[in-house]
Homo-oligomer: A and B are copies of this chain.
């Protein structure tokens, strides 16, 4: 096998267990899945928002391929929602290729990536990403979904994790614990000693039995709306005041910190001339920083911090602090 094939199809015989033609077909299917998921998610978000519509921008990547950025701004439910898809191909920079499986520099990637910033502070922010990559003779799936609440509702965290766990369990009982732990590890702000939110799933480099992995990946994508929308539906009309809005803006600052300091996709994209406006669509419409802010002990806001560490939300009996936080959260609804 050549170490620098000019395209993945140059190699003959078994490629990641599939023939080159089978991999081509899988890539085409994955790209179609990604486009269908964007349509489905955007439609569902417009329906629950009831006010604003997505605007779609089609863009070309100079090195090969392109994408469609979908943005909904100033909605009744979503202050800003971005749902991007892309299908790109070309040559990796050698130093970036060194961090990836496979061989050579030629790559193909397709994926959907979304970040939703709701208006109501009781509705969590969420992020999801589902992608398929080929490099030389290697091909793999990656993705995940995670939830970043501003107020600590145990039942919401449990619902989100339960739906994602069911999608995992249908394929392999080892997936949920493995990808849940990976998510906690990835979405961690070292300088703050906090997870970004309550986690979810994160997986990458899944390259064994690609047809089966493709079904798992697709099912995870399909699980996103059932995992998230019921929480939106339940919290979107909760009354809130300036206090909750200010706390939401303050916590959104953490989202900015994570994305600009740690998120590999963001940093890589910006430093390698990606389309800036699509990459930074993940940033909140408005965010605040306050020097040395500490939530009042015993407050709803303080309760959130108990959620910002890796924990198992699906155990039958929550630890006492969680139960207390969830109760405070529930009482606050009017």
- Give me the interface of A with B, judged by CB distance under 8 Å: 57, 69, 71, 73, 80, 82, 190-192, 249, 253, 256-257, 260-261, 267, 270-271, 273, 276-277, 280-281, 283-292
Residues of B within 8 A of A283 (CB): 253, 289
Closest to A281 in B: B291
Copies in the complex: 2
Which single member of B71, B249, B260, B292 contacts A277 (CB below 8 Å)? B292
With A261-B260, A261-B267 already in contact, the answer to whether A276 and B80 are too (CB < 8 A) is no
Known: A191-B276, A261-B260, A271-B190. A288 touches B291 (CB 8 A): no
State whether A291 touches B73 (Cβ < 8 A): yes
Q: Which of A73, A190, A277, A283 has the most CB of B within 10 A?
A: A283
A291 CA / B288 CA spacing, docked (Å):
18
Residue in B69, B80, B260 whose CB lies within 8 Å of A256: B260
Sample (29) of A-B pairs whose CB atoms are under 8 Å apart: A57-B292, A69-B291, A71-B291, A71-B292, A73-B291, A82-B291, A190-B270, A191-B270, A191-B273, A191-B276, A192-B276, A249-B286, A253-B283, A256-B256, A256-B287, A257-B260, A260-B260, A260-B261, A261-B267, A261-B270, A277-B291, A277-B292, A280-B289, A284-B289, A285-B290, A286-B286, A286-B287, A286-B288, A287-B288
Query: B residues within 8 A CB of A281?
Result: 291
**Cβ–Cβ contact B191 & A291, under 8 A:** no
Q: Which of B69, B82, B261, B289 contacts A285 (CB 8 A)?
A: B289
Residues of B within 8 Å of A267, CB to CB, are 261
Q: How many Å from the CB of A276 to the closest CB on chain B?
A: 5
